[in-house]
Amino acid sequence: MEQTITYRPNTWIREAPAITTEGPRVAFALFVLFLMMIYSCIAVVYKAQLDAYRPTLLIALAALFMMVVELGSARRSFRLMWPQGILLVVLLGVCVVSTFNAIYVSHALEQTADFSKMVLIYLLIENVVTNEHRLKTVMLAMVIGGLFPAIGTILNYQAGILQENSRASWRGIFKNPNEAAYAMLILIPIAIALARLSNPIVRAALWAAVAVYLLAIFLTFSRGGFVALFVVAGVMGWKHKSIAIKAGMIAALLAGAVFIGMFWKRSSGDFTNIKEDTSFRQRMATFEAGGLMFLNNPLLGVGPGDSMVAYPLYVPIAAHCGCQDQLVVHNSFIQALAELGVLGFSAFVLFIGFVMYQAWKMERGPLSPYATALSLAMVGFLMCSMSGGFVYTWWPYILAGLITATKHIANSRAADVV
């Protein structure tokens, strides 16, 4: 494998090649298959036939098992980057401890078990995405996989299969329109980054995928999704060096705002008279209830996922619209405070913060296209988190795992002083 030796004053620098190691091969292939399984929701589509076998879980366990076997056979060390890896383990530990003091122990235990799977997948990503080719493969697999919920959302809208009489979504983890919009939104900067790195045919296909995502997001009629989309697009344009691109992005955002104003309607309320909208009032009620949950349980909260069952106990009478009696806190940060207390909140915020800082630092490095795309996807997650409780969803931990893997790859390219 070739290496480039560069002279700098007083030192000779040997620059390592972009690809220094392969790492676990079978585990990586199984991880890509796992991604396609969660995006396609095959286990949900064919629930009657596959429920007893739990194929998605089996594939994840097989990937983890092969990771351990392949790392051991190659005598490679297990990767757990400081500080985000430790913070994620701490967050899981807080979930476990909080479960024992939860309002609804069995529900909290189930949520903790689900979250532990996300932690394990994060660790899997960090240890099997070992070079630039694999990073690009995973990102491409996510873009392809995202077409399942996107096309499913569009087809459901055409068939009249709607939520709240007007909002389209798909099934499984994409059944909630807000979560469907959030999951597709974070793929847009990834698809655009891959398009810039691809040949014309693949580039055209990736831009077509972006168009499909945009249509599907529109049909979810998710206000939080639209706000996040505009923010991501704005940040994307701001990061671009070209003045023409920035001007074009501003024009596109203005045109989008006009388009939404003309055609964006849903039965449960739109962007007009938002303070009187039931959905908006519900969100504000969950914020108040979440704050009270934290004040009454400041150290460990009410338990993982238990803000839903604690809501009727804590929501102020004046804030409760009487529409629903079980609501998750619709803000990821207030949700973390309410359900996991100051310990879980601190671990969660620091984990997200360190990961985003690393992505931002790498935007000026040789892996800039990937780091920028993943950073923008995390911005999408943060913006969606302002109006949704997404602490226990797959996407922030998959994105964080990819950012951490990118950091490892960047480190492998660091110069050695001879």
Domain boundaries, the chain: 79-417
The angle that helices 200-220 and 132-159 make with each other, rounded to 10 degrees, is: 40
pLDDT tens digit sequence for 217-235: 999 999 899 899 989 988 9
Q: What is the pLDDT of residue 164?
A: 83
Which portions of the chain are predicted below pLDDT 70? Answer: 1-21, 48, 241-278, 318-324, 413-418
pLDDT tens digit sequence for 338-384: 999 999 999 999 999 999 999 999 999 999 999 999 999 999 999 99
Sheet holding 415-417, edge to edge: 4-8, 11-15, 415-417
Q: What is the pLDDT of residue 270?
A: 54
pLDDT tens digit sequence for 8-36: 434 333 333 444 457 899 999 999 999 99
Rounded Cα–Cα distance for residues 282 and 270 (Å): 14
Q: What is the pLDDT of residue 271?
A: 52
Which token pair is 389?
A: 């409780």
Q: SS3 string of the chain? A: CCCEEEEECCEEEEECCCCCCCCCHHHHHHHHHHHHHHHHCHHHHCHHHHCCCCHHHHHHHHHHHHHHHHHHHCCCCCCCCCCHHHHHHHHHHHHHHHHCCCCCHHHHHHHHHHHHHHHHHHHHHHHHCCCHHHHHHHHHHHHHHHHHHHHHHHHHHHHCCCECCCECCCCHHHCCHHHHHHHHHCHHHHHHHHHHCCCHHHHHHHHHHHHHHHHHHHHHCCHHHHHHHHHHHHHHHHHCCCHHHHHHHHHHHHHHHHHHHHHCCCCCCCCCCHHHCHHHHHHHHHHHHHHHHHHHCCCCCCCCCCHHHHHHHHCCCCCCCCCCCCCCCCCHHHHHHHHHHHHHHHHHHHHHHHHHHHHHHHCCCCCHHHHHHHHHHHHHHHHHHCCCCCCCCHHHHHHHHHHHHHHHHHHHCCEEEC
Do 328 and 286 contact (CB within 8 A), yes or no? yes
Q: What is the pLDDT of residue 23?
A: 85
Rounded Cα–Cα distance for residues 397 and 400 (Å): 5
Q: What is the pLDDT of residue 2?
A: 37
